[in-house]
Structures are given as structure tokens and as C-alpha cells.
């Protein structure tokens, strides 16, 4: 999360954290945030996939090497004139008390909203606003974007099945490894780009990977 927040900060993009779920023992289990800026989606869609981190775990008293994974999903916010038909009886809306920073109001009022789209199983939560109505509004915007992205992907898959697309760059594939031990290296498995300054990469300096991906799979193909 920090890597992408710092990358956005470097570019002057506006970032709003919509939902953040802490891990049961440490770290972050899940986070949703919106990035606003010129070509933000065009750049960030190259980051979709599974990222692997290899390091000496700070949570292991025996200082053993651990491998962990983070899955990144990116979808564009759709324009107002694009119609996505969502029926009320296809939604389950739950309210709950927001967690994390926010003062006494956050802990006492069930202002956070979780929306489940039953046919697809897509779940969106928002707890960034004090108003339950506002959180529901933001969650619905994100849900519409994710449904639109799903429909677009289904259409693309149908075309691929007809044309026989040879590329297999899709959600669920490991795209990059961040190795902090026993050596230090960040390698993108799609483009072959390698960077040895791991600290700079984890601090948001990922443009070299993004540009290599765009040149290889978007701009040239």
C-alpha cells in the first residue's frame, strides 16, 4: 500500500483511502483506495496481479526468511453517462461500525457500509466518511466500476476464445518479485526488468516497471 501511495504522491495524484482492514496479527489484510490524476488508470492497470515479497520477517523472533503475497486489482471509475443496470434485489447492504482512526464518532455509530452484489459475489466496503449515506454512495460508485470492468473482461475473454489470443497476462498471475534476503532485487517477470535498489522501489519508484510493461504489451502490440 505504501509503495502505491508514495508513487501517487510523487506524481501529484490525489488519493483517498476508502476502506482498510487490518490483519488479525499484524499488517494490512485488505485496502481499497481511489487515485485521481492524469492517466492514473492507464498507468496502474499494469500493476494488476500477484506481487511476491521475500524478506526476513520483522514479526519472527527467530529471524527466518518468509515469503508473502499481495494481490493488486485495479479498475477505472466509470463515467456518469455509462449505464450499469443494478437491481435492488441483487444487492445485500450491511452497515457496521467503522474501524481505525476517526475519533469517538467512528466507534459509536454504524456509519460504514458493505454492499454485496449477489449474482457476482463482488463485495465493496466504504468507511471513509462520517455519513452512512455518503459511504453507501461511494461504495455504489466503486461497485458500478467493478461490474463494468467485469463485463468488459468477459467480453474480451469471449473475443480471445474466438481469435486464439496467445498472451496470458491476467489477474492471478505472479507478475513481480521483491527480494530483500538473501540478496536484494526486484524483478518483473513479464518484462524481465530488474532493479537492485529495493528501498527506492518500495518507496514508490516503480515507473521503470510501468513503462516497460506499457511499451511491451500496450504501445507496441
The CATH number of the domain holding residue 96 is 3.30.160.20
Q: Are residues 103 and 138 in the same domain?
A: yes
Residue at 162 is within a domain: no
Co-location of 60 and 93 in the same domain: no
- 164 within a domain of the structure (yes/no): no
Whether 82 is covered by a domain: the verdict is no
pTM of the model: 0.69
The CATH number for 13's domain is 3.30.70.1660
Instruction: Find the range with the poorest average confidence among 7-11, 159-163, 201-205.
Output: 159-163
213 or 27: whose pLDDT is higher? 213
Same-domain check for residues 141 and 106: yes
Q: Per-residue confidence at 83, pLDDT binned at 50, 70, 90?
A: confident
The whole-number pLDDT of residue 82 equals: 66
Give me the percent of the chain exceeding a pLDDT of 90.
Answer: 53
Question: Residue 160: its pLDDT value, please?
Answer: 59
- Averaged pLDDT of the chain: 84
Statement to judge: residues 68 and 14 lie in one domain:
yes
- Determine what percent of the chain is predicted with pLDDT higher than 70: 85
User: In this model, does residue 100 exceed pLDDT 70?
Assistant: no
- Same domain? For 69 and 96 the reply is no
In a domain, 141, yes or no: yes
pLDDT at 104 over 90: no
Q: How many domains does the chain have?
A: 2
Task: Report the length, in residues, of the chain.
Answer: 221
Is residue 158 situated within a structural domain? no
Say yes or no: 43 and 97 in one domain: no
Short-list 78, 217, 213, CA closest to 152: 78
Pairing assessment for the beta strands 174-179 and 49-56 based on DSSP bridges: parallel
Tell me the residue range of the domain where 42 lies. 2-73+171-219
Where does a domain end: 146, 161, 194? 146
pLDDT at 192 over 90: yes
pLDDT band at 154 (very low <50, low <70, confident <90, very high): confident
Amino acid at each position: 500500500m505504501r509503495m502505491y501511495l508514495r508513487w501517487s504522491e510523487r506524481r501529484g495524484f490525489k488519493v483517498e483511502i476508502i476502506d482498510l482492514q487490518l490483519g488479525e496479527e499484524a499488517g494490512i489484510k485488505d485496502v481499497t483506495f481511489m487515485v485521481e490524476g492524469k492517466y492514473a488508470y492507464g498507468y496502474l492497470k499494469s500493476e494488476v496481479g500477484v506481487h511476491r515479497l521475500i524478506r526476513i520477517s520483522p514479526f519472527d523472533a527467530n529471524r527466518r526468511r518468509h515469503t508473502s503475497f499481495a494481490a493488486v486489482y485495479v479498475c477505472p471509475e466509470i463515467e456518469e453517462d455509462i449505464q450499469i443496470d443494478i437491481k435492488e434485489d441483487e444487492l445485500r447492504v450491511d452497515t457496521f461500525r467503522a474501524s481505525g482512526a476517526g475519533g469517538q464518532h467512528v466507534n459509536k455509530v454504524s456509519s460504514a457500509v458493505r454492499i454485496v452484489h449477489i449474482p457476482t459475489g463482488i463485495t465493496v466496503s466504504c468507511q471513509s466518511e462520517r455519513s452512512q449515506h455518503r459511504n453507501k454512495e461511494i461504495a455504489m460508485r466503486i461497485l458500478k466500476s467493478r461490474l463494468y470492468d467485469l463485463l468488459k473482461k468477459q467480453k474480451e475473454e469471449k473475443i480471445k476464445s474466438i481469435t486464439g489470443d496467445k498472451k496470458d497476462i491476467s489477474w492471478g498471475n505472479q507478475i513481480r518479485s521483491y527480494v530483500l534476503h538473501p540478496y536484494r532485487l526486484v524483478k518483473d517477470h513479464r518484462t524481465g526488468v530488474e532493479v537492485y535498489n529495493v528501498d527506492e522501489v518500495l518507496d514508490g519508484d516503480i515507473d521503470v516497471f510501468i513503462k516497460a510493461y506499457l511499451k511491451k504489451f500496450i504501445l507496441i502490440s
